[in-house]
Structure 1
């Protein structure tokens, strides 16, 4: 378990699957990444007393931001040093002036779901990483959470299984049909449990770090309402994919409301920045090793989240 293997490029026939764990298998980190622009302008007039001292970032690949430069292997978590937690921490250190800025403990990991908050995760490099909650302490005073999309394989189904089914019936709705059992849609039904799981995550964070300000970050819009060919779905499944994404977003909003924590509304902010847009915040179906994993955030998206988090914090 402690041996580290260098990842190898994935075969072309597998590059279109989004299952966060499967999509990262055998991918190679490339060096020579360019620096990412600052996420936010420096804020004047902020008291150093307002700056958190210990910031813990929990989340999956939309927090880890695989292949956003500069990227590190992180035992298979593929965590960027310019993801939004890193950008937020850097801005808070600037705001602190001559005082110490926050200690950032970023344990976000590609492939993580809510169960990996309390249980170890085996990454694509077959490394076992500790439960993310192990990073929480009573002294932690800021926690961001970005989780839920991998529960019940929601993202993996939409961008992995559904495109495979589209080949058989490109004009129909084969994915929607395949997921209906006994008169119920199994994917949509599972999202009710996602809301309960995320709510439990927030409540446990509050118990472990009672002094922490907790911020829940939702997911960006991947496609506009009219659909997007870049998801490689059958024509009739575009509306279905949008419905699933909206239901996931609703689950996160309900979890935030039920636990009375702040929601950073990336869903709303990302309108007009979908995969098919002129200025996308999320990559399309082809991995760009110098910018982002397939169907994962670009640096521009991470900068946007950082700005939203800082705004929520009053910076």
Structure 2
């Protein structure tokens, strides 16, 4: 059975968040109020909330408000104050509801955890947020943090390369940041083309290291040799290899393997998981540099925030 909270919203919108905002808004004391603030009919609003959460709007609101009330009582607030603030008609009505939910009167709120049993893992989260448990039925294929960051790095680099295609040939190689050097051995990166080229080049070099191939030529990533669309096409190929290589080694449990580079003087050891961390760290730094440089050249790009990116995928 599909988790009702996993139903995707249209790109760029968090419909569940919109519905929950309407349900928990202090001014929306009735389902009709909730529906109006969510720009939906009462019937469709109720059906959406029940489909996405497994609870009616009224039941969901009541439970979340009780959880928040219990937390506030545990912090020492008076019963009458909490009852009024959470929208109960009187302290007596609130006390009866609290006892039914928690099995103890409000005066014993310290004896219970403020979370109540929920059909959807959705709870009040102090001080004014909500928390959604992944639960035992969570998708086992959900990406790890490292897999998520690998995918974000590749997608964000592609976004920046697409934006850089708006530059003129002169802007692509212009010294926007004279003297800028990220890593000494990579040389100066004063232009947008140099910074973006270095992101692609770094993955290409480490892929060769992992695979045991010859050191690759840098021509395909130098801004003097390629324009943004050409570099973007090269990036697509390198990124596909990069993600596949890391995924294969991860699945085989081999990210703990180590490459000993005898070409270094003295020789250096590079664990694969350290290589991934190195690539992601400096790619993130360069992507932010590229954003700043593109902005200086009049090209606007999205923020690159992984949270914003996740809403679009």
Per residue, is there more helix in 1 or in 2?
2
Report 1 or 2 for greater relative contact order, CA contacts < 8 Å, sequence distance ≥ 6: 1
Per residue, is there more strand in 1 or in 2?
1
Q: Scaled by the length of structure 2, what TM-score is found?
A: 0.25
Q: Scaled by the length of structure 1, what TM-score is found?
A: 0.24
